Structure 1
């Protein structure tokens, strides 16, 4: 493996990670809930859920942030190398996995690991291993 030094962006990556940490900390301090995106999205689907407005604003911020970034800097080019059926299938599998796992990468991986939650540690290990195994099988065994 070699690093493409011309496109290596440690400072913007560090800044993005710090902003994610700040956002989940403010969300937790503001309403006492974990900023797991799958749970927040599920709650927003029910307009009578508790804290609906904060959750909707949080999701809106996720959508508006790239637009604001694009107003001041060039956004990276997006190059999706998968066909639409594969993307739809992947999205459905991730959605099913987040329901079975009672959370997603943001809930378990960011919020749960920072709280040293044993359940989140196990969940994060499971989805990381599953992701690595999937990539290995698709790229190196099946050659897709």
Structure 2
């Protein structure tokens, strides 16, 4: 199995920050940190929008903070074409709609709350991911 750019320390730190953010959001606002639900309600909800926009601004400003700290933009390599990215985004959007949430809501917050629905959703995410990687790498030869 090939591991590409595995960074255990950075990954651990990022995971800790995501977990801390989820806990702080639940403690301060009483809401679950599901990124797609936050984005959707920031755009379409009538009330309770300010904290959502603040959280989204924090997510988007992360690369600028990285630039200030390190002096370099974070390196991002996308090994697929723009049409593949658009198709992937569409499929994720459909999955989020049918799965009643995204990986952050189900995987980080739902599993922590021992939600059976989130356990089923995460198992489905992981199985679909494994199948997709297998098909792309071994069937399609990518």
* TM-score using structure 2 length: 0.90
Q: How far off is 1:8 after superposition?
A: 5.1
1:20-70 CA distances to partner (integer Å, 9 max, x unpaired)?
111011111111111100100110112513x20001101111011221122
Aligned to 2:88: 90
1:1-144 to 2 correspondences below 5 Å: 1=1, 9-46=7-44, 48-49=46-47, 51-73=48-70, 74-144=72-142
Number of residues paired by the alignment?
141
1:95-131 CA distances to partner (integer Å, 9 max, x unpaired)?
0100100000000011111111111010000011001
Paired with 2:35 and 2:76, the residues of 1 have a C-alpha distance of 22
Change (3 A) 1:120 1:47: closer
Paired with 2:36 and 2:29, the residues of 1 have a C-alpha distance of 17
RMSD (CA atoms): 1.7
Could you list the runs of 5+ residues in structure 2 that have no partner in the other structure? none
| Aligned partners of 2:37 and 2:101 also within 8 Å | yes
Paired with 1:45 and 1:114, the residues of 2 have a C-alpha distance of 27
